[in-house]
Amino acid sequence: MSFDDVLQRGEDELLSTRPRHSLSWILASQFTASTVTAFSKLILTAFYNVELKGLNHLDNAFQYAKDNNRAILTIANHMSTCDDPMLFACLPWRYFFNYDDIRWGLAASNVCFTNKISSAFFSLGRILPCERFGKGPFQPSIDACIRLLSPDNSLNLQKFTLPPPILRNKPSWVHIFPEGFVCQLKSPHENSMRYFRWGTARLVLEPTIAPVVVPIFADGFEKIRPEEIDMKTDYLTPSNIGSTITVNIGKAIDDNVIKSFRDEWKNLCNKYPNKDNNDDLSDELKFGSEARDLRSRVCDYLREQVAQLRLQNGFREEDPRFKDVNFWKRYTLSRGNSDPDIQFVGLNWAIKEYQRHVKLYNDKGEVIGEGKSERPSNL
């Protein structure tokens, strides 16, 4: 079940902030995406061996979505800062010929949107800024993705004026890395994942029509850009030349499973309406125990689908601790001291003091300042 005010916030607070409805923007955006993809393909072809598995699953998902007026949501593990765009550079060029087929994505605002130049570049690359460390799952970037995943002809035309702030001929493709942070762990836990963050569940539950959800697991990008490199001297130098990059695309998640979750969500929406505004989420739907439990179960299920692809790539079973949200909270709060047998390559980026340009929020979600970075000078 969708809420008009959520969709409208997605338009007003993010999608309308750039001239995405203009032809000049579209041309510049497609040029940016194609150029970055071409450069990434060049790096992969020249220095690495790429194994792409399950492309037919993505092809089938795109055709099914097109035939049924539905958007595409892909979810993948996050191993490296080069996951995007390298992951998409592994796909055939036909995924970039049509502007509507180019994926939308999220990136940390404190990393990719720190000045006008980088903000314009990533915006042209169809990336939206996501606030971390306190903003939570109810923020403009998630609302914007929900709007992107909602077909234009499924909107309440009494509430929305068409055309929308983005020009498109069909529902969009949104890709996210649900862990929210790069996760590179040392052996024997290599290529394991963090828990999936709750904003992921919103993208399944809240679009006007259920998206077609496709899981992906990739490994090898952590070899291209290992976290222990010196960011000042080695960032642009390819590492571990000759390594194999494996991208495993799974089958689209069963519609019946997605429908079951969305039916639960609809029941909660009917049970806990916003009495002051029927077009928006109530506090119970945001913060209530039943809604939180549902989001948690959706994320657990999606994570398990990606984890199964990880096993197909030849990795051993994950440590069961990694599935537990409370483990990661405890581990991050203690800066790894709670479980010293688990060590990161580089830093655990979920520790906000290690990052620059991090905004600090009060209890009302208002910005009250900027955090101080304590990370080593070479990172």
Query: Can you count the helices (H) and strands (E) in the chain?
Result: 14, 9
Q: Mean pLDDT across the stretch 81-86?
A: 94
Q: At 306, list the tokens.
A: 């990606």
For the segment 30-42, what is each residue's pLDDT rounded down to a tens digit? 999 999 999 999 9
Cα(358)–Cα(269) distance, integer angstroms:
33
Q: Read out DSSP for 277-330? A: -TTS--HHHHH-HHHHHHHHHHHHHHHHHHHHHHHHTTPPPPPGGGG-HHHHHH
pLDDT given for residue 357 in this prediction: 86
Cα(88)–Cα(41) distance, integer angstroms:
9
pLDDT of 273 above 80 = yes
Cα(328)–Cα(187) distance, integer angstroms:
18
Q: At 101, list the tokens.
A: 């087929």
SS3 call for 261: helix
Residues 6+ away with beta carbon under 8 Å from 367: 359, 360, 361
Quote the DSSP letter at residue 368.
E
Q: At 214, list the tokens.
A: 């496709």
Window from 6-10, 97-101, 318-322, 340-344 with minimum mean pLDDT: 97-101
pLDDT given for residue 375 in this prediction: 65
351: region left, alpha or beta (phi > 0 left; psi from -120 to 50 alpha) = beta
pLDDT given for residue 119 in this prediction: 96
For the segment 313-341, what is each residue's pLDDT rounded down to a tens digit? 999 999 999 999 999 999 999 999 999 99
